[in-house]
Amino acid sequence: MKLQRKDYIFEVKKVDIITKREEINVVLIKVDDVSDMIFPFFTSYKLSINDSIQIYGFFLNEEMIAVSAVIPDSDLNNGSFYTYGSPIIYVFEVREDKRGLGYGKKCVELLIEKVIESDTVILSCTPFVAGFWEKLGFELKFIDQSLYMHRMMFEKKEKKEIKK
């Protein structure tokens, strides 16, 4: 599609976001495997991440495109976080150059379908990204005014068998 305005011609290209050939893999990683420069939001949480929190890297062609920290349910985390009996997505960040292309949605789907076995998932997020999570099926449960965080919850529509 071409738009013409005076002496300028603007060409608008439609970009296919994720092709069928692109496969994203999710892998359990160590906190030190996450680049401070590429994932600055995640880096701001590094000091509060302990051994009970599981860190997952999302890889496209061996390149990390997203990272997430998941707090397992309370039976596994030795009481360092209160999880209300469900795992919590504590941090989730997509690389800045991969945002808006559908990778975040795909990574969250992988996290919920393949990694988190619970039917209910809790999420803490800033108000700025709440809309992203709502599009994926999370519902706002309450706002923690002291931390300016939204507490959201996702319930799986149907339990999918998890391949091991």
Integer Cα distance of 91 and 123 in angstroms:
8
Predicted TM-score (pTM) of this structure? 0.73
Three-state DSSP state, 148: coil
- Domains defined for the chain, CATH in brackets: 15-155 (3.40.630.30)
Distance (Å, whole) CA 135 – CA 143:
18
Answer with the residue of higher pLDDT: 157 or 76.
157
- Chain segment 35-46, per-residue pLDDT in tens: 999 998 888 777
Q: Is the pLDDT of residue 55 over 50?
A: yes
For residues 93 and 12, which has the higher predicted lDDT (pLDDT)? Answer: 93
pLDDT value of position 13 = 40
Question: What confidence score (pLDDT) does residue 44 get?
Answer: 79
Element spanning 147, H or E: none
Per-residue pLDDT, 3: 45
**Maximal C-alpha separation, the chain:** 67
pLDDT in tens, 70-123: 988 765 445 555 556 778 888 899 999 999 999 999 999 999 888 888 888 888
Mean of all residue pLDDT scores within the chain? 77
